[in-house]
Amino acid sequence: MTATTTKQSQAPEMGELSPYQTGPALTQATLVQTGVALEWQDGQQSTLPLLWLRDHCACQACRHPQTRERLYLPLEPITEPPSVALLEGHLHLNWQDGHVSAFHSGWLYQRRPESKLVSSVPNAKPWKDNFTPECVRHDDFLKPQGEKAWLTAMLRDGLALITDGPLVEEEVSRLAERIGPQRATNFGARFDVRSKPNPNNAAYTAVGLPLHIDLPNWRHPPDIQLLYCLQNGASGGESLFADGARVVEALRQQDPKALAILSETPIDFRFQDESHDISMRAPVVTLDSAGNLVEMRLNNWIRDALHLPVEQMDAWYSAYALLWRLFHSEAHQLEFTLRPGQMVAFDNRRVLHGRREFDPNSGARHLQGTYLDRDMLASRLRVLARQD
């Protein structure tokens, strides 16, 4: 049965905040054995199953009008086909139980199985030789286009800077909260990085910090770290970064067995002080099913006792040493001095960070930091993309 085309005064509302209204109109809708066969003005065709169409009805009985959450539960197959109609190029279905579903042609066009999913959130890309991080001026970051550029770079490269910011306390928190709530840890929601008496973390001393991720002893280490420089008059203290995605690929090329050992062997990480004792057992490298990096857990300070069968220990130490040397080779390290008014941000589960030793008697050094969930960066970028 092919739908007839009739007139209607208003296009169906699909309860979406992202735009879909500019898609082509439907020119044909035909009931077939597998569902409803559709054709649009540009010649694209698709067939959608009846249960899929019923499941995606956007009426107020099937979707909550305020929260946009699904209310319909697709537990039973559709055994009786609906009647099909095109009203001003949009699909309308009258189900046998009396329910009516209306679908905007552009919404269906975006979601047809043959379409390529388009996302405003970029995929992660390993650093190339001579990688230079994206820099966005503070004033530009406060505008949509500048914020989009910074967020895009962060999600793609795992590292980006904001420059020319004000030298005021808590600016790191204000910038973070434009994106989402700060992720609190045992060091608080916002922390100060400077040399201080009786430190409970090496970052609060003047010693050099080899490359590492923060808090691998947590079940879910913080995703994104922000470090805002308020003072940096001390001699030394240059910032160091290396891309885990790049180094893991180098390890794969040089010694795939070492990568297998580090990605398949869980070890223990532990932080303890007078108030906390937080531990986690996980591999140093976690890969997805395609071999891509999911996360790094490289932090030599809070690696706990190596609890492995004795016959596995030498091979693990050998693989660990090779990974360490790759990360700390000049070929993979990025080094620069963070200036007052600059904020560096990086993907803590991908990009390792460190610093050179500094002399606390040669000048003041004060950074303020916080963490964000990566989901909040992706969310913010999607929201900004709606304005395009």
The one-digit pLDDT tens for each residue of the chain (388 residues) are: 566 555 554 899 999 999 999 999 999 999 999 999 999 999 999 999 999 999 999 999 999 999 999 999 999 999 999 999 999 999 999 999 999 999 999 999 999 999 988 888 999 999 999 999 999 999 999 999 999 999 999 999 999 999 999 999 999 999 999 999 999 999 999 999 886 545 556 666 778 899 999 999 999 999 999 999 999 999 999 999 999 999 999 999 999 999 999 999 999 999 999 999 999 999 999 999 999 999 999 999 999 999 999 999 999 999 999 999 999 999 999 999 999 999 999 999 999 999 999 888 899 999 999 999 999 999 999 999 998 7
Same domain, 62 and 199: no
Total residues found in the chain within this entry? 388
How far is residue 346's CA from residue 159's CA, in Å, rounded to a whole number? 4
The residues pairing with 135 across neighbouring beta strands, listed in sequence order, are: 161
**Angle, CA 110 vertex, CA 24 and CA 50 arms, to 5°:** 100
Same domain, 106 and 140: no
Same domain, 219 and 348: yes
Domain that includes residue 87, residue range: 4-111
Same domain, 99 and 155: no
- CATH classification of the domain holding 48: 3.30.2020.30
* In a domain? residue 41: yes
Sign of CA dihedral 216, 220, 226, 229: negative
Tell me the residue type at 376: M
- Contact assessment for residue 371 and residue 348, using Cβ atoms and an 8 Å cutoff: yes
How far is residue 26's CA from residue 37's CA, in Å, rounded to a whole number? 11
Same domain, 98 and 138: no
How far is residue 107's CA from residue 24's CA, in Å, rounded to a whole number? 10
Reported as type and span, the H/E element at residue 344 is strand 343-347
Residue 3's pLDDT is what? Answer: 63
* In a domain? residue 272: yes
Same domain, 242 and 372: yes
Considering only CA atoms, which of 130, 134, 161, 124 is closest in space to residue 332?
Answer: 130
Same domain, 64 and 181: no
Same domain, 34 and 166: no
Collapse the DSSP code of 345 into the 3-class scheme (helix H, G, I; strand E, B; otherwise coil) and give the result. Answer: strand
What is the number of structural domains in the chain?
A: 2
Same domain, 71 and 192: no
Same domain, 141 and 190: yes
> DSSP labels for 235-248?
EE--EEEEEHHHHH
* In a domain? residue 307: yes
Tell me the residue type at 382: R
Give the pairing of strands 134-137 and 159-163.
parallel
Dihedral of the alpha carbons of 371, 374, 377, 380, in degrees to the nearest 10: -110
Same domain, 139 and 85: no
Same domain, 35 and 144: no
Residue 145's pLDDT is what? Answer: 97
Residue 1's pLDDT is what? Answer: 59
* In a domain? residue 298: yes
Instruction: Taking each helix axis as running N to C, give the angle between helix 244-254 and helix 310-327, from 0 to 180 degrees, rounded to the nearest 10.
Output: 120
* In a domain? residue 125: no
Structure tokens at 388: 């395009």
* In a domain? residue 119: no
> DSSP labels for 106-141?
HHHHHH-TTSPP--SSPPP-PPPTT---EEEEHHHH
Q: Compute φ and ψ for 36, nearest 5 degrees.
A: -120, 120
* In a domain? residue 123: no
Residue 202's pLDDT is what? Answer: 63
- CATH classification of the domain holding 232: 3.60.130.10
Residue 22: which residues within 8 A CB-CB, separation 6 or more? 106
